[in-house]
Structure 1
């Protein structure tokens, strides 16, 4: 196949055009911190309630006493071969950042980068159709966007939403003694690796799609619970990486009970066979020094704790008194795997933020 020869739209495999896929193609967390440390600090008006300071999920700009604008963007290369499914997953993932701040989406803009010489218009159109379907489900329009001709397929959204300033849920407001609840099971990255190797069956693919296209709009209800102190969504840096962001922002440490972390059953089987993404190893290299790992714990558990999640679940830090209401909110919204995975705790004297796994 030459650069000027479009592929057959009926046999296309989108992942063949990408070096990585989904949130697994994020820049490694260690390198990202180094890059951002060199970026000059821009204007910070008093209306900017949340900016870049704690690596939060979205920016928050106060409009008035009753409304704040939630602004975010997310895009990536294909994690699956089907164009329509790729569009759905990417759009679901992008809107998740709004829900993670407690916001309600109001509209989106499409970000489209495609190798025009290699992909026929009907394939590109199916990607956009998938994204539009998710936005319809979320009750918002795709009101515009931008497109470019690039070497790898890229799709995502700019997401805009609204939230009451007092209901903003940052990733930096966790409190010592808070309980940690994870809304979706881990393992999407492992399943994507199995897909690329051609060993993921129809059942596994359906399960992967079910989790990655489930909108995290339960975040709206969670933000209305007084005992919910902090929220984030688990994506490319894995549960360990995003929980460490909560720890650093809040000036705390955390404990995770490995036996309680919800996992996709088929992903466990693949991980036990040694299946993993390259991003999982990069994640561990970046923040493994901040994790106390139990002696004798199997390697597959670490694979899943660092597994890059695409459109992963919400991670909630809440008071013990609010736990029943948090779990009920998750259950009512169809998140049957939501589970308590650990707790926030004070830092030990002389130690920075750490994640203690037991």
Structure 2
């Protein structure tokens, strides 16, 4: 995705385009009238699980999340579906779309149309339009030194997805991961607004460290990530230690290596050099997520109250680090074991 975005020519400089692809934000923001801005995004994924209803719900939650990550509320959606109707029964498609519709209804989003493509592989997602008040907009460019990083969901869905596909995942771990991916980020976003969040992103394909890197670059700040505080899905450590991680997660670690250093000053290896706890946790921080949680930049004095409210809402939230002034080093993120 980073390569694709880099190939886009710079957008026309127009005052009504507030956020474009320049800083890898989760969605575009355009101003169409004073006092309210549109949030525009689209996302399509392939199945991580065999059950079509679970897949439809996960894909819809994943698509809607980009709007909440920008501080907005999704309002309308278009179905985007790719389906091999010559090899799968139409009832599979019906189940996917029905689950997507239920997820959108739960979020208060109306599905007003869509587009279908006959394709060899099943894929599903949404094009979503939302809105946000100008003073409630979050972006990768608006984090501040001293803020606390709060994550609203446990990580590890990439390795758990691999384990599910290979028949290596326990029932409890699989069920927990699926429920986490189906969980909407709506309540996390509303809690973030309550506690004065200024910047946010949702943790998806770039992994936790990749999305945090986008914030440090966009905001011109640094960050410290406390690996020991990360909320993890059950069996995530086990499967990462066995190196059951998808290719995208491995690529994330390689791409991010120059932007990260350990607290003791040692470099961050492009490949996992061993299976010590610190290296396994670091690799989980690079794990490509689907429908992950929100990474919120919270004023320090509000951070604990924010975490408490997220936990009370049934989310596996934790304070996992902090923003700091930019360092002279090219590495913008410091890992603390």
Q: TM-score, normalised by structure 1?
A: 0.86
What's 2:269 paired with? none
What's 1:5 paired with? none
What's 1:211 paired with? 180
Alignment partners' CA distance in 1, 2:115 and 2:243 = 40
What's 2:152 paired with? 183
The partner residue of 2:294 within 314, 323, 330 is 314
What's 1:348 paired with? 327
Distance apart, 1:223 and its partner CA: 5.0
Alignment partners' CA distance in 1, 2:174 and 2:17 = 41
Alignment partners' CA distance in 2, 1:89 and 1:298 = 30
Q: Is the 8 A contact 1:230 1:317 kept in 2?
A: yes
Q: Is the 8 A contact 2:84 2:120 kept in 1?
A: yes
Alignment partners' CA distance in 1, 2:256 and 2:317 = 25
Per-residue deviation, residues 206-228 of structure 1 (Å, max 9, x unmatched): 10111000000024424534631
What's 1:105 paired with? 74
Per-residue deviation, residues 160-215 of structure 1 (Å, max 9, x unmatched): 11111110111211111111001111111111010111112321221011100000
Alignment partners' CA distance in 1, 2:167 and 2:246 = 14
The partner residue of 2:22 within 37, 50, 53 is 53
Alignment partners' CA distance in 2, 1:126 and 1:248 = 41
Report the secondary structure of 2:216's partner residue. Answer: helix
Per-residue deviation, residues 85-139 of structure 1 (Å, max 9, x unmatched): 1101000000000111111111110000112211111111111111111011112
Per-residue deviation, residues 262-288 of structure 1 (Å, max 9, x unmatched): 111321222233322221111111111
What's 1:303 paired with? 283
Report the secondary structure of 2:141's partner residue. Answer: coil
What's 2:51 paired with? 82
Q: Is the 8 A contact 1:168 1:223 kept in 2?
A: no
Q: Is 1:279 matched with 2:248?
A: yes
Q: Is the 8 A contact 2:5 2:21 kept in 1?
A: no
Per-residue deviation, residues 277-311 of structure 1 (Å, max 9, x unmatched): 22111111111111113667543212211111100
Q: Is the 8 A contact 1:193 1:277 kept in 2?
A: yes
Report the secondary structure of 1:302's partner residue. Answer: helix
Structure 2 residue ranges without an equivalent (≥5):
267-275
Alignment partners' CA distance in 1, 2:238 and 2:134 = 44
Distance apart, 1:333 and its partner CA: 2.6
Q: Is the 8 A contact 1:248 1:353 kept in 2?
A: no
Structure 1 residue ranges without an equivalent (≥5):
1-26
CA RMSD of aligned residues (A): 1.7
**1:229-268 equivalent positions in 2, closer than 5 A:** 229-268=198-237
Distance apart, 1:353 and its partner CA: 5.2
Q: Is the 8 A contact 2:41 2:127 kept in 1?
A: yes
Q: Is 1:157 matched with 2:122?
A: no
Report the secondary structure of 1:315's partner residue. Answer: strand
What's 1:289 paired with? 258
Aligned residues: 325
Alignment partners' CA distance in 2, 1:204 and 1:327 = 23
Q: TM-score, normalised by structure 2?
A: 0.92
Structure 1 residues 184, 226: closer, same or farther in 2, change over 3 A? closer
